[in-house]
Amino acid sequence: MGYTAGINISTGDYNTAIGFSALSANNTGASNTAVGYHAGKGVVTGTFNTFIGGNSGETASGSAVDENAALGYGSLGKLTSGSRNTALGTSAGQLFQNASDIVAVGYYTLANANTSTDIDGSVAIGSLSQAENKTGVGNVSVGKSALQSNVQGDFNTAIGHESLKVVNGVNGQQHNTAVGYQSGLAMTTGKYNDR
């Protein structure tokens, strides 16, 4: 429903496309739902994806784009290949390319992660949580602005409002754990700290 929505579906089954160009490239993909302007526009063969919001899943064109859920404008907008991602919130995971098994919940969470598989398995919950993470592996953040500035540090756990907010560290392992309101707020490059 909508101009060019689902226009190329040839053998795909159980798809729902609502909005201008929603699922317009889909050919054989099945059980996809796309609602919004350009939602799921790039999906060609992917299955069991849900893209709700303008430009959500817009470039999801790879053959391994399966079982993703995105809700919010631009969420998973640049995903080209990757499965089992959950992105809820405006711009959540907007630059993911080949990421899998990632959870991004909240406005601008993991929004700048544009690498291939480095961030697989990351979890970010709360507005701006891990907003700047590009290559950091195994990070978990819960709370507004938790681990917000971390670009490439690995294995950090930040739970609480602004917890480890300015950690930007070095490339590689940091292993910091901070729990509580603004815990570890001043830390920038520290390693192996528990707060």
Report d(CA 50, CA 73) in Å as an integer.
13
In this predicted structure, the answer to whether residue 130 has a pLDDT above a threshold of 90 is yes
pLDDT at 61: 82
pLDDT digit string (tens) for 55-86? 999 998 877 899 999 999 999 999 988 899 99
Q: Judge whether 176 and 187 are in contact, CB under 8 Å.
A: yes
Mean pLDDT score of the chain: 91
pLDDT digit string (tens) for 146-181? 999 998 888 999 999 999 999 986 677 889 999 999
Report d(CA 17, CA 1) in Å as an integer.
6
Q: How confident is the model at residue 96 (pLDDT cuts 50, 70, 90)?
A: confident
Looking at residues 110-121, what average pLDDT do you find? 79
Predicted structure pTM score: 0.91
pLDDT at 116: 62
Ramachandran angles phi, psi of 133, nearest 5°: -60, 125
